[in-house]
Chain A
Amino acid sequence: MGRDEFLFLLLGLKWTVALSAIGFVSGCLAGLAIALLRTSGIRPVERATAGYIALFQGTPLLMQLFVVYYGLALIGIKMDAWAAVAVGLTLHASAYLGEIWRGGIEAVPRGQTEASKALALSYASRMKDVILPQALRISLPATIGFLVQLIKGTSLASIVGFTELTRAGNIISNQIFQPLTVFGIVGMLYFIMCCPLTIYGAYLERKFAASAR
């Protein structure tokens, strides 16, 4: 494998990073909304968000990407592969992060909510200043774990024709007929991104376990 082939893989890597970043950032924003709605105390809203979460956790990411890319085109919403994958990953991430953070919010002791209510804090201040900082801290290891899943999940974008790392690998492999070398390198590139995150997540988990004692 020559230099040009390797550079082509790096170009794919760039799109994998971009997709992961977009999916994660917009997934975080939407996921925060989902987590807040899921814990709002308003029954129909809680049910609806629980359904949303169940839907996206109960179906394969690949199928979700198909629906957004091919399905939406059928009803006249035409998106290029890039936008479709970004939307699909965002929906997917929002459901998972929403559920992770719901758990975090509910793990904050009730007394925190009671104390902030007794101090006349509004709902917005109660969440922003008291509950979420504690809930996000509790959820941080699981959030990082999900980010790793998401980075690997972007490889499915190759199936709707988007040239990220996996598809770049596929293209090169078809050109130079060295699948073992090419996919070995592709795998290494994923590993270099994911492994430090996994180690960091485990470190945070140990740190919080120690401070909880």
Chain B
Amino acid sequence: MNDISTTVDSTHPMISMSGVEKWYGAFQALRNINISVEKGEKIVLCGPSGSGKSTLIRCINHLESYQKGVIRVGGIVLGHQAKTIDAVRREVGMVFQQFNLFPHLTVLENCMLAPLRALRLGKEEAEARARQLLERVKIAEQADKYPAQLSGGQQQRVAIARALCMRPQVMLFDEPTSALDPEMVKEVLDTMIGLAEEGMTMICVTHEMGFARQVADRVIFMATGAIVEEAPPAEFFSNPKHERTRKFLGEILGH
């Protein structure tokens, strides 16, 4: 196999990170990260703020660069060349805490832009795909509105549909419910649960422990840039092994 393969290969794990390290100047943001995620697996990443969990998933689609280690997405080695970065980004969808919808485009146009430009689909096909996915996140009737006219929960569902329009193999969620009013959290989590049930490979940075219990195959706990503990949710919540994990769970579950 050649070095810069840019097609997804099903014999590899969907995502693997080995020995990944990242510094911001003298500050080490990620320490020796090793993760392997199989196709269809759902991972929940949690940890105190500043523990590096967002940085970790942002490395997977190269929104952040890293200094050491290897990241593979479906067999594509994520190098620093534009070609492999682009290939990986076409396969990896991302949902952000602040939604980051394009405010000057309608909901429909938000969903059509990347399929038109990055996948070079025809206009009709891109529109059909966008409408179908807006239907799936139950927001089809808002297609012609602008993002600012929607509630936070609706905007986040549009953001999920927009990412799905690329037909990604993996979805990354970076605290998707943290910026939402409490009454809107459920509609977004329900959308994510639906996606999980259909077999999407997902990595979610979230503090929604109910979601973790219900959906995750594994929960990964991070602190100070390193992975501290990794376990299936039942075990993670009932029998955490590390002091740091117990303290963290005590803080977020203890009221």
What residues of chain A have their CB less than 8 Å away from a CB belonging to chain B? 109, 111-112, 114-122, 125, 129-130, 133-134, 137
Q: For the A-B complex with A111-B98, A117-B61, A130-B113 known, give 9 more contacts whose Cβ atoms are closer than 8 Å.
A: A118-B61, A118-B93, A118-B96, A119-B89, A119-B114, A119-B162, A122-B118, A125-B113, A137-B104
B114 & A117 in contact (Cβ 8 Å cutoff) = no
B104 & A134 in contact (Cβ 8 Å cutoff) = yes
What residues of chain B have their CB less than 8 Å away from a CB belonging to chain A? 61, 63, 86, 89-90, 92-94, 96, 98, 100-104, 113-114, 117-118, 162-163, 166
B86 & A120 in contact (Cβ 8 Å cutoff) = yes
B98 & A134 in contact (Cβ 8 Å cutoff) = no
B113 & A118 in contact (Cβ 8 Å cutoff) = no
CB distance from A126 to the nearest CB of B (A): 9
Residues of B within 8 Å of A122, CB to CB, are 86, 117-118
> B90's closest neighbor in chain A, by CB?
A120
Residues of B within 8 Å of A109, CB to CB, are 98, 100
Of A114, A120, A129, the residue contacting B100 (CB under 8 A) is A114
A125 & B118 in contact (Cβ 8 Å cutoff) = yes
A129 & B98 in contact (Cβ 8 Å cutoff) = no
> A211's closest neighbor in chain B, by CB?
B148
Of A111, A121, A134, A137, the residue contacting B114 (CB under 8 A) is A121
> A124's closest neighbor in chain B, by CB?
B117
Point out which of A114, A115, A122, A134 has the most chain B C-beta atoms below 10 A from its C-beta: A115
Report if A121-B98 is in contact (Cβ < 8 Å); known contacts: A114-B63, A133-B104: no
A120 & B63 in contact (Cβ 8 Å cutoff) = no
CB distance from B79 to the nearest CB of A (A): 16
B63 & A117 in contact (Cβ 8 Å cutoff) = yes
B89 & A117 in contact (Cβ 8 Å cutoff) = yes
CB distance from B254 to the nearest CB of A (A): 32
> B172's closest neighbor in chain A, by CB?
A118
> A129's closest neighbor in chain B, by CB?
B113
CB distance from B110 to the nearest CB of A (A): 9
**26 A/B residue pairs, CB under 8 Å, sorted by A:** A109-B98, A109-B100, A111-B100, A112-B102, A114-B63, A114-B96, A115-B94, A115-B96, A115-B100, A115-B101, A115-B102, A117-B63, A118-B61, A118-B63, A118-B94, A118-B163, A119-B113, A119-B114, A119-B118, A120-B86, A120-B114, A121-B118, A122-B118, A130-B113, A133-B104, A137-B104
CB distance from A212 to the nearest CB of B (A): 10
